[in-house]
Structure 1
């Protein structure tokens, strides 16, 4: 049906703006919820007023188009509830809360694992049973709430697809939240152990020189006998000297690609220290 496809394309363009916005803003989420509901109502009116030209188009609508909208409606509502219910303080409490939410999502997915596999593998051999209206076989209804849904705007599995879509979006959102909390916790630890004396400590060499030094110290076994995570060492140096070292591996590759003086900064350190030792003597 051309009208449903046109409406679907309009929704994708409109909701893309919301998804790129700050989804931790309650007003933005409410806007996403409102828009999604409006488009679902528009879909409902279109489907009631006109029949689909073919079974293929009906399957496309109930397998892809309607769940795309309804999945985002569920997603926005879940994130909205998360913002209102999550602990307001304590990084460990917030992390525990998110992990509990992730466990709930995994538990729900396991209950419909066979259909989840069917959908993710993009199979279609049972689409005529799952995504056409009027299939009166109750054993197909894995989501019992569908028994009371509008039969003109519902198939046995379209709502389950929307749940899968919402699930995937929520997983990405929660994982991003955990990563932000992890970084926030790391910065808090750095601030706690960083004495005031380091506040004005400034690295006045080049960033390339610092990266050369970091790699040299790490491969020499100076940090945890060579078992330290290079990213963590870099993060500590960035926090300590209040700078951004950028892509350290790209810079290190440039150092290795030098035709000569590949250890230019280390050689400079040796010369400077030798001069100081000689002077002191």
Structure 2
């Protein structure tokens, strides 16, 4: 119940941002529209937290470690994406690729400079959560690599850094996708595809899980299909917008309690059940 409001709010934000990206091509207009949507959601998020006390320390940790960072990551990501687009050189593919690789190196340097906390973030450790994600916790300054927020009622030692980790991972994947396209990948959205009348009516996060499963196991083009190509193909096949697939991966990663492959697991169970049903003894049959 605690997460229901925040999950709905985040899905609403992702949907709005996806529409903005699909409808706008001008980086200035994209940033302006995105900041407007994100600002409204962040204001609603803060108001909700400050109006209703957390029922327990565990819930407070959950909010500042998991929920708040992914919202703020959207703001950081769109600012970074704007900078990436505005500073991109108008030149040959080789020059543009060199620019993208330089930005990748900068992201890698950030991760290295914060290696200890990035490891804490990536591995899901929790032994320091009572210091990192509780408001007002006494923590030695040497353990705080970056903390720009000073709001004592709505900030903890590490929630902003976790937001940057999420945003920079999204940005890193976006840059890799763009480099892949420059290296000769064809844009799938330009290819004709018959309208078979089949539309995706399930959750976008489930479709995202399928896409990442195909991508990471190299099922398409002998493992050479880029994430952007696969996303574009699924969009055209199923008449659906999934341009927020990086945000979707954030949702997949948050499925720590159940399984990050929750949908694919349910498919396996359904197939096994059908096989078991077919193998059951049927009266009158030999």
TM-score (norm 1): 0.60
Report how far residue 167 of structure 1 moved.
1.1
Q: Tell me, yes or no, if the aligned pair for 1:7 and 1:39 is still in contact at 8 Å.
A: no
Report how far residue 160 of structure 1 moved.
0.6
Q: Deviations over 1:117-158 (max 9, x none)?
A: 111111112111111100132233211434xx2111110000
Structure 2 distance, partners of 1:144, 1:67, is 13
Structure number with larger C-alpha Rg: 1
- 2:175 maps to which residue? 174
- 2:117 maps to which residue? 115
Q: Deviations over 1:64-116 (max 9, x none)?
A: 11101101111111111211111122211111111110000000111111111
Q: Kindly indicate whether residue 46 of structure 2 is the aligned counterpart of residue 44 of structure 1.
A: yes
Q: Tell me, yes or no, if the aligned pair for 2:147 and 2:161 is still in contact at 8 Å.
A: no
Q: Does the C-alpha gap of structure 1 residues 19 and 171 become closer, same or farther in structure 2, counting only changes over 3 Å?
A: farther
Q: Which has the higher helix share?
A: 1
Structure 2 distance, partners of 1:164, 1:99, is 18
- 1:235 maps to which residue? none
The unaligned stretches of length 5 or more in structure 1 are: 188-230, 232-281
Q: What does residue range 1-281 of structure 1 map to in structure 2 within 5 Å?
A: 2=2, 5-16=4-15, 18-19=17-18, 21-22=21-22, 25-26=26-27, 27-137=29-139, 138-146=141-149, 149-183=150-184
Superposed CA RMSD: 2.6
Structure 1 distance, partners of 2:4, 2:32, is 25
Structure 2 distance, partners of 1:141, 1:49, is 28
Structure 2 distance, partners of 1:45, 1:111, is 34
Structure 2 distance, partners of 1:183, 1:141, is 43
Q: Tell me, yes or no, if the aligned pair for 1:15 and 1:32 is still in contact at 8 Å.
A: no
Structure 2 distance, partners of 1:25, 1:6, is 32
Report how far residue 24 of structure 1 moved.
5.3
- 2:226 maps to which residue? none
Q: Does the C-alpha gap of structure 1 residues 17 and 11 become closer, same or farther in structure 2, counting only changes over 3 Å?
A: same
Structure 1 distance, partners of 2:60, 2:76, is 22
SS at match of 1:145: coil
TM-score (norm 2): 0.59
Structure 1 distance, partners of 2:25, 2:119, is 31
Structure 1 distance, partners of 2:138, 2:160, is 16
Q: Deviations over 1:37-56 (max 9, x none)?
A: 22112222222222211111
Report how far residue 36 of structure 1 moved.
1.8
Structure 2 distance, partners of 1:28, 1:81, is 12
Q: Greater RCO between the two (CA within 8 Å, min separation 6)?
A: 2
Structure 1 distance, partners of 2:100, 2:40, is 30
Q: Does the C-alpha gap of structure 1 residues 173 and 82 become closer, same or farther in structure 2, counting only changes over 3 Å?
A: same
The unaligned stretches of length 5 or more in structure 2 are: 188-220, 222-286
